[in-house]
Chains A and B, each alone.
Chain A
Amino acid sequence: MLRVSSRAPTETIMPTLLEAQTAMRASLLHRDHEAISAMLAGHITADRLDIYRNTFIHTLTRALQLSFPATGRLVGKEFFEGAAQFFMADHPPREAWLDRFGGEFPDFLRAFPQAKSIAYLGDVAELEWAVNRALHAADVPPLDVAELATVAPEDQGRISFVARPSVSLLRLAHPVDSIWRAILASDDDALRQIDIESGPINLLVERRETGIEVERADEPSWLFLSTLCAGQPIEVALELAGDLDCPTALADHLASGRFSEFELATPQNARQLR
C-alpha cells in the first residue's frame, strides 16, 4: 500500500483534528506557522504554508475589492490591499457566505491611523456597503397595498412596517454620494468640484427593478422613512416628520415597494414606542 507521504515524519505528533485546524487558523490569520509546521509530514517550508495563506488573503481581498470599488480607487491598490490584510486579521469572515463579509470595514477605515488624512473614506465605504447590501438582499415581495385597506381608519396610526431588505437609510458627515459617483465614472472634473465641507447628507439606498439607486433625502423625509423602516408606528413617524406632506410621502414609499409587511401595534405598544 502506498503511503500518503513518501517522506517519513521526523517526529510523531498526533494532534486531534481540532488542534490541527486551530494551528492552521493561526498560520492563515497571523502567519504563525510554528504549531502547524510541527504537525506536518516531512520538512515543510514556509513557502508551502504561504500558498494557503496567499489564497486566503487573495480571496478575501478580492471580496473587499468587489464590495468597495470606489474606496479602493480613492486609496490606490497597494494601500487598499494593505488595509485589507489588517482588516481580515482582526475581522475574518464568520461564515462561508462572503457576500456578507466586510460590514465592519467602514468603521475599521475610520479608525485606521494610516487613513486619517482622508476624513471621508469611512463614509464612502459605508455607502458602498449599503450598495452591496442592496445588491445581494434577498428577493422579498413588496407589501400588497390592498392589504392596508383592511385596516379601520381609526387604527391606521398604529400601522408599523417591515422594510424591504434592500433598503438602507444613511446619515453621513460628507457628501460622499457625489464622490462615489465621480470616482466610479472616473470623472475628475466632477470630483474637483465637490465641496467636502458642504455638510452632512441623508441618503436612501435601495434596489429597484432598474438597478441600485442612491438618492439624497431632506431631513423631514429621511426622518419619516427611517422611523417607519425602524418598525415604528405611523403615528410616531408623523410626529417626527414636522411639516412634511406625510400622506404623499407614504404613498410614494408604498408605491415604490419599500416595505414588505405591516402589523398593527397594540395601543399599549404604540404608546411605549412614543
Chain B
Amino acid sequence: MPPPTIGKASLIPAKAGIGLRFQHHQAVLDRRPDVAWMEVHTENYMGGGTPLKYLDAIRRDTPISLHGVGLSLGSAEGIDRAHLERIRKVAERIEPGLMSEHIAWNLVGGTYLADLLPLPMTEEALDIVCRHVDQTQTYLGRRILVENPSTYLAFGNSIIPEWEFMAAVAARTGCGILCDVNNICVSAHNHGWDASAYIAALPTQAVGEIHLAGHSIKALPDGGTLRIDDHGSRVSEEVWSLYQEAIARFGAVPTLIEWDNDVPTLDVLLQEANHAAGFIARADGDHHADAA
C-alpha cells in the first residue's frame, strides 16, 4: 500500500463540517462535495480494509478530525492503554487536524458499556478525568478537545456544576473544549439548567470546536419530558439559536453537523452544514464590524 499523502490542508478550518459515516463514503468520493472538513469516529477506522481505504482517499482533499467514543476518560480504574495505542495508530495514519474525546466513561470491571455514561460531578471524578486527559495528551504528543456530555440523570453527590467541571479540566490540563451545543440544550432541559448561562460560563479561549445535532423529546409516565440526544434528525431551532449565542461568544470555530441514526442523504447533511456556515459568516462579519 502506498504511503498516505498529506491533504492540502491538515488543520481544521473555522468553518462548517460534516460527520462522515460509512453510508456516504462512496458519495463523497464520487461527488467531492464542497465541505470545509469532516469528522469520523476513531473507533470505526481501527481495523484495515475498506473503511481506511475510503478515508485515505477522502482525506487527500478534505481535512479530517478524529472523534473518539471509547477512551473512557472518566473510568475510575484507568483508561485502556491498548485502546489508547489504537487511537495513536489511527492518528499516525490519518494525520487529523483535531482529536477529541468525551467527558464521560464506559469502561468498568473489564466491560465496555457501549454508551457515553454520566460522571458524578465530584472532585474525585475531576481529578481522575484530568489525570487521564494528561495521560492521553502525553501519549499522543498533542492537545485534545473534550466534549461536554448529554445526560439524563445526575448523581446525589455531584457538587461541581458541569460547566465549571469542563472549565477546570481545560484549565488544569491545557486541553481544549468541544462545545456540543445540542448536548447543552438536552442536558439543560433534563436537569433544569439555563443553557445560555452554561455557554456564557465556558472559557472562550478553550473552545476549539462546536458540535450540532438533532435530538428527540420523550414523554415520561410522570407527565414530564426528557430530551434524548439521538442524532437522528435536523438541528432544532432552539439549538440553532443557542449556536448563535455560542459563536457570538467564542467567535468562528470549526462546527460539525453530527447525524448517526436514520442517517439522511449527503445532501441533507450539506444543507445543515450550509446553514451553520451562514451563521459563521454573519458572526465573522459582526466581529469585523465590532473591531472597526
Q: Tell yes or no: B172 within 8 A of A by CB.
A: no
Of the residues A6, A9, A165, contact of B156 by C-beta under 8 Å:
A9
Name the interface residues of A9-52: CB closer than 8 Å to any CB of B: 9, 11-18, 20-22, 24-25, 28-29, 39-42, 44-45, 47-49, 51-52
Contact, CB under 8 Å: B46 / A18: no
Q: Which residues of A contact B159 (CB under 8 A)?
A: 4
Name the interface residues of B160-185: CB closer than 8 Å to any CB of A: 160-162
Of the residues B47, B125, B156, B158, contact of A137 by C-beta under 8 Å:
B47
State A4–B83 Cα separation when bound (angstroms).
32
Q: Tell yes or no: A3 within 8 A of B by CB.
A: yes
A6 to B, closest residue via Cβ: B192
Q: Tell yes or no: B24 within 8 A of A by CB.
A: no
Q: Tell yes or no: B110 within 8 A of A by CB.
A: yes
State A22–B189 Cα separation when bound (angstroms).
27
Q: Tell yes or no: B222 within 8 A of A by CB.
A: yes
Q: Which residues of A contact B107 (CB under 8 A)?
A: 96
**Which listed segment binds A: B31-39, B115-123, B134-142, B272-280?**
B115-123
Q: Tell yes or no: A135 within 8 A of B by CB.
A: yes
Contact, CB under 8 Å: A139 / B48: yes
Contact, CB under 8 Å: A4 / B121: yes
Q: Tell yes or no: B49 within 8 A of A by CB.
A: yes
* Least Cβ–Cβ distance between A93 and chain B, in angstroms: 4
Given contacts A1-B161, A25-B108, contact A93 B46 (CB under 8 A): no
Contact, CB under 8 Å: A41 / B76: no
State A97–B51 Cα separation when bound (angstroms).
14
* Least Cβ–Cβ distance between A141 and chain B, in angstroms: 7
Contact, CB under 8 Å: A56 / B115: yes
Contact, CB under 8 Å: B114 / A99: no
- How many residues belonging to B are interface residues under a CB distance threshold of 8 Å? 61
* Least Cβ–Cβ distance between B165 and chain A, in angstroms: 9
Q: Which residues of A contact B122 (CB under 8 A)?
A: 17
State A97–B70 Cα separation when bound (angstroms).
8
Name the interface residues of B1-53: CB closer than 8 Å to any CB of A: 1, 43, 46-50, 52
Contact, CB under 8 Å: B221 / A17: no
Q: Tell yes or no: B153 within 8 A of A by CB.
A: yes
* Least Cβ–Cβ distance between A160 and chain B, in angstroms: 24
Is chain A's interface secondary structure helix, strand, loop, or mixed overall? loop
Digitize B67-79: 1 where CB-to-A-CB distance is under 8 Å, 0 elsewhere.
0011110111100
Name the interface residues of A48-97: CB closer than 8 Å to any CB of B: 48-49, 51-52, 55-56, 59-60, 63, 92-97
Q: Tell yes or no: A146 within 8 A of B by CB.
A: no
Among A21, A28, A55, A139: residue with most chain B CB under 10 A = A21
Contact, CB under 8 Å: A47 / B52: no
* Least Cβ–Cβ distance between B285 and chain A, in angstroms: 33
State A16–B192 Cα separation when bound (angstroms).
25
Contact, CB under 8 Å: A17 / B125: yes
Q: Which residues of A contact B194 (CB under 8 A)?
A: 2
State A93–B108 Cα separation when bound (angstroms).
11
B190 to A, closest residue via Cβ: A48
Of the residues A2, A18, A42, A135, contact of B193 by C-beta under 8 Å:
A2
Of the residues B50, B108, B156, contact of A135 by C-beta under 8 Å:
B50
Contact, CB under 8 Å: A51 / B226: yes
Contact, CB under 8 Å: A5 / B191: yes
Name the interface residues of A207-227: CB closer than 8 Å to any CB of B: 207
Q: Tell yes or no: A138 within 8 A of B by CB.
A: yes
Contact, CB under 8 Å: A94 / B160: no
Contact, CB under 8 Å: A140 / B48: yes
Q: Which residues of A contact B106 (CB under 8 A)?
A: 96
B125 to A, closest residue via Cβ: A17
Q: Which residues of B contact A190 (CB under 8 A)?
A: none
Given A41-B153, A98-B112; 17 other pairs, CB 8 A cutoff: A2-B161, A6-B191, A17-B124, A20-B155, A22-B109, A40-B153, A40-B155, A48-B152, A60-B114, A92-B111, A93-B112, A94-B111, A96-B112, A97-B43, A99-B47, A135-B47, A136-B48
Chain B positions within 8 Å of A, measured between CB atoms, are 1, 43, 46-50, 52, 69-72, 74-77, 80, 82-83, 86, 105-115, 117, 119-122, 124-125, 128, 152-162, 191-194, 197, 218, 220-222, 226, 228
Q: Which 3 pairs show the lowest CB-CB distances between chains A and B?
A: A96-B70, A136-B47, A139-B48
